[in-house]
Structure 1
Amino acid sequence: MNRTIFCIVVGTSLLVSCQKDADFPDVDPTFELSEYQREIVSYFQEIALGFEFGSASKITRKWVDTMQIFIGGMPSPELLLELDKIISEINELASDHFAISQVQDSLESNFYVFFGSGDEYAAIFPALSDLVKSNWGLFSIQYNSAAELNGGYMYVDIYRANVTEQKHLLREELTQSLGLGNDSSRYDDSIFQSRWTSTNRYAAIDEELIRLLYHPEMTVGLDQLEVREVLTQILINE
C-alpha cells in the first residue's frame, strides 16, 4: 500500500549487555565524533525523520530505485539547465546505486516536475488547490509499507517567483523529495532553512545529509536512536 505525504515549500567502543540496567544509562555513541560530525548527526535527525506536515512516523525513508523525472508545464531553458545541475549534484553525492534521471515518456516516470502557475498545478492535483494559493513550491511524495519512496510530484510557480526564486524552489522541493522532508531554522545557508531564502546552492551540511541518506549503510525505517548509531559508525569508519 502506498501513502502520500503533502509537504510545503539530518577506535569504536561497544557496550554489550544481556539486559538493560537502569543504573547504567545508554552511552551516547557520538562521543567519538568531532563537534561538526555531531552537528551533522543532529541535523540529519531533524531533517530526515518524517515530514514537516502530516502524521507520518519519524523514521528514515528514501528511494531505493531510480527517480525517473517527467517534466510538465512551461520550463525556461534556464530552469532546465538548473534541473540538470541539481540532478548531477545529487547523483554525485549518492553512493548506494540511487540516481535521478529524466524520461520523455510519462508512463516511464515515477516523479513529475511541473513548471507553471498554482492554478494550473491544482487543475492536475485538485487536493492541493488550497495550498497553491500561498505556496510557490510544493512537493508530494509516496512511500510503501517498507518506508521506501516510490513516487511523487512537485511544482514551481514560474509566475509569482522570479528566476532566482524559481531555481531555489526547484532545488528545495526536489531535495526534500529525496526523503529529507523537514525544514529547520538552524542554518541560514541551508536549503532546508524554514525562513524564506533564495539560496541556489547546497550548504556543506546539506551535502552531508544527502550523502549520508544515500549511503550504502543507511537503511529505511530507522528511528532517531537507530539512525544515530548508523550515522556514527559511517562517520567513524570514514
Structure 2
Amino acid sequence: MFKSNKNKKFLLISIILIAVISSFLLFIRKVNYIPTPYEKELIDYFKEIALQSEYDNNPEKIIKWKESMLLYVVKEKEFKPQISVIKKVIDNINRLTTDGFKIILTDNYAKSNSILYLCNREQVYKSNKDFYEMLTKDIDYDIAGLAYTEFSTKTHTIDKALIFINSEYSFDIQEATILEEITQSLGLAFDSKLYTNSVFYKEKSKQKVRVKKYSQLDKDIVRLLYHPKMKPGLDSIEVERVIKKILKLEKIKLDG
C-alpha cells in the first residue's frame, strides 16, 4: 500500500500553500507608503488624540460612534447665539465625516442618545444628578465645559454622550468650549500641549487661548476617525497601517 506516500505528498503541498497564502496576507497587511512630512505629523497627532484619554478606563484603541448622535439641548433660556454656534459646529463635523456618521439636533428628549447642558451647574443638578457628580467630583473650581461619553468595552463604539457648557462664562469662552466639547464627544478625548491653534490644546485655560475654529490638523483628525476604514477597536499599530492605506490607495483630500 502506497497511500501513506500520497498523503505525505498532499500534506507537503498543503503546507507550501499555507505558507504562500500567509506570506501573501502578510504582504497585503504591510502598507509600503512613505508619508509626507505633514502626513507623518498628522499620524502622530492622531494617535495621541484618538488613542489616549484623560479617563482611567482608556483602552488605547479607537473609540467612535457607529450610529448617528441624536443631540438634545437642555438650556435655561433661548440662547440664540449659542445655539447658532452649536449648529455651525455640527455642520462642520458632518461635512468631514464619510462613514455615515452624523450629528443631528433633536427636539425629542426621549429619542436622543446625547444631551448638551447649556446652563449652570445647579441646573445640571436638577436635570441629571449623576452627571452633576461628575462635574463636581474632585473639582472644587468652576469649569467652562466637559464632555463625557459611554462606550462598549467589547465593540469600542460610543452609545451615549453628556456635554456641559457653562452658561455663566462669557460668550467668547462658551463659543470655544462648544467647539471643543462636541468634538471630544466624538471619541477624541485627549488634550495635547503640542499645537496652540488646535482645539485639543491642553493649556488653553492657563494661557487664555480661545480656539473657535478647527486647525488643519483638527479637521484631518476628524476626517480620519470617521473614515469608513477606521474601525472601532484598532490599536496603535493597526491605526498607522490603516491611515497609510487611506493615504496611499484613496488619497483623501487633506488640509495640510
Q: TM class, shorter-chain normalised?
A: 0.7 to 0.9
| Equivalent residue number for residue 5 of structure 2 | none
| Equivalent residue number for residue 118 of structure 1 | 121
Amino acid at match of 2:117: F
Instruction: Tell whether the 8 Å contact from 2:121 to 2:132 is kept in structure 1 after alignment.
Output: no
| Equivalent residue number for residue 69 of structure 2 | 67
Q: Which one of the candidate residues 98, 106, 110 is aligned to 1:107? A: 110
**Distance between the aligned counterparts of 1:70 and 1:132, measured in 2?**
28
Amino acid at match of 2:156: A
Amino acid at match of 1:121: V
Q: Which one of the candidate residues 195, 200, 210 is aligned to 1:187? A: 195
Give the structure-1-normalised TM-score.
0.85
State whether structure 2 residue 215 is matched by structure 1 residue 213.
no
Amino acid at match of 1:154: I
Residues 169 and 205 of structure 1: CA distance in aligned 2, closer, same or farther (over 3 Å)? same
Q: Which one of the candidate residues 146, 154, 164 is aligned to 1:155? A: 164
**Distance between the aligned counterparts of 1:111 and 1:126, measured in 2?**
15
| Equivalent residue number for residue 32 of structure 1 | 34
Amino acid at match of 1:110: N
| Equivalent residue number for residue 46 of structure 1 | 48
Residues 140 and 179 of structure 1: CA distance in aligned 2, closer, same or farther (over 3 Å)? same
Query: How far did residue 51 of structure 1 move?
Result: 1.6
RMSD: 1.9
Give the structure-2-normalised TM-score.
0.79
- Of the structure 1 ranges 90-99 and 50-59, higher mean CA displacement relative to structure 2 is found in 50-59
Indicate the SS of the match to 2:146. strand
Query: How far did residue 198 of structure 1 move?
Result: 1.1
Amino acid at match of 2:172: T
Instruction: Tell whether the 8 Å contact from 1:50 to 1:60 is kept in structure 2 after alignment.
Output: no
Residues 132 and 164 of structure 1: CA distance in aligned 2, closer, same or farther (over 3 Å)? farther
Indicate the SS of the match to 1:135. coil
**Distance between the aligned counterparts of 1:116 and 1:207, measured in 2?**
28
Q: In percent, how many aligned pairs have the same letter?
A: 27
Instruction: Tell whether the 8 Å contact from 1:140 to 1:177 is kept in structure 2 after alignment.
Output: yes
Structure number with larger C-alpha Rg: 2
Residues 94 and 132 of structure 1: CA distance in aligned 2, closer, same or farther (over 3 Å)? farther
Indicate the SS of the match to 1:101. strand
5+ residue gaps in structure 1? 1-15, 21-27
Query: How far did residue 76 of structure 1 move?
Result: 1.2
Residues 132 and 61 of structure 1: CA distance in aligned 2, closer, same or farther (over 3 Å)? farther
Q: Which one of the candidate residues 213, 222, 228 is aligned to 2:234? A: 222
Instruction: Tell whether the 8 Å contact from 1:96 to 1:216 is kept in structure 2 after alignment.
Output: yes
| Equivalent residue number for residue 12 of structure 1 | none
More helix by percentage: 2
Amino acid at match of 1:127: E
**Distance between the aligned counterparts of 1:136 and 1:30, measured in 2?**
44
| Equivalent residue number for residue 96 of structure 2 | 93
| Residue deviations 1:56-109 (CA, integer Å, cap 9, x gap) | 210001000010000102351001011110000000000001001011110110
Indicate the SS of the match to 1:216. coil
State whether structure 2 residue 198 is matched by structure 1 residue 198.
no
Indicate the SS of the match to 1:32. coil
**Distance between the aligned counterparts of 2:143 and 2:82, measured in 1?**
19
After TM superposition, which residue ranges in structure 1, 4 or more long, deviate above 6 angstroms? none
* Residue-pair matches, total: 214
**Distance between the aligned counterparts of 2:37 and 2:91, measured in 1?**
29
Indicate the SS of the match to 2:44. helix
Amino acid at match of 1:225: I
